[in-house]
Amino acid sequence: MRLARPWPLRELARDLRQGRTTPEAASKRASARIAETEADLHAWVERTAFLPGVGGPLGGVPLGVKDIIDLAGVPTRCGSVLRADIAPATSDAAIVTAWRAAGAVPLGKTVTTEFAFFAPGTTRNPAAPGHTPGGSSSGSAAAVASGQVPLALGSQTAGSVTRPASYCGVASLVMSHGRYPVTGVTGLSPSLDSHGVFAATVSDLAIAWSALTADPGLEPRPPRILVWSADALDVVEAPMRQAVTQAAKRLREAGATVSAFLDERLMADLTDAHPVVMAYEAARERAAELAVAERLSAPLAQLLRTGAATSFDEYESARATIADGAARLAEVFDSCDVVLGPAAPGAAPRGLKATGNPVLSRGWQALGLPVIALPGFTDPAGLPLGLQLVGRRGGEAELLGHACWAERVLAGDSW
């Protein structure tokens, strides 16, 4: 059985809109695919009964919800033994309310790593069996990659959306920090936590975004691109480096203006500042869990203890580095529309005991910028390689327009 078989949102949304299918039929299709694949994938924590939506442009599209996000009537267990017996949430998180208003119908909760940090959950990678699906939104990425649902919610504090999308071969959008409230979300770091969403393709993400925001978006067009090599971080593997180079070449040939992103030191500094802020804020946000650190996984316990030992001056210094970086990046975006770079060091690492390295997302996440993971490349073994496109803060619609254009070019479609 083929596990990687994404369900295009575009086709389903069209069929729902034109009456060729119904929300009930879409839910049954999702349930059938889950029944067919879940024993191999373990993407879900808990399923919910189908409840008709309230209308909206998505009109009954099945939705997965990461299990740090409240869904009324379902416990938010956050992948932790500490929450094994927690009572069901009494209301939806604000972001779930927004997606329901757009017409999406939650089908249940998807697996997360422990409190959205590094301890792996149970999920397998449908595109690369035996390799990690990434973290922490692993269940949502796998649910979309396998076609269990066409849309699923995630969250990103370091690389928890971009990395699993790249590893599982699907598209994702990390929203600008603060774009929607995080009410009802169990977070780690208030100044870094951002909402995310997964779909089969970038064009599917654009449909979902337009439904969520009522913004029709921009017409796809050739952008001005800066290519970030990430050389200063010294982690990018040869196949990923080749994918970025090939993409830049093909986009230039199709009409984009392509130049090199030269301020490698800036991204290295931001990458160093990110974990300081994350640890300091996590120790305070998750103080109750820190008090029982012996019951946490070793990586999470270490994060919280490191954060507790971080001084306010160290935290403020890291925040100042990020503020300076934001000002410098604003000047960079005066001369470009998007930054193109590797979404992860390479393909998904073999094994299920770790979730891979988020280092290539840390700098961008520190700045709170919107990021799209663009699927389509593979390494010599056929494993997915995702690229990332970074846009201006608050510029999701613009970023999606440029990413749709890039997706079509890289797929070989003509304009």
Q: What is the DSSP string of 307-328?
A: HHHS-HHHHHHHHHHHHHHHHH
Largest CA distance in the chain: 60
**Which sequence positions are flagged as catalytic?**
66, 136, 160
CA distance 7 to 188: 31
The enclosing H or E element of 224 equals strand 224-227
Distance CA 201, CA 171 (A): 5
With a CB cutoff of 8 Å and minimum separation 6, the contacts of 324 are none
Count the residues in the chain: 415
**Beta-bridge mates of residue 341:** 388
CA quadruple 257, 258, 264, 267: dihedral positive or negative? positive
Helix spans in 122-237 (H) = 138-145, 162-168, 202-213
- With CA atoms as reference, report the closest residue to 106 among 164, 166, 151: 151
For the record, the structure tokens of 373 come out as: 């993971």
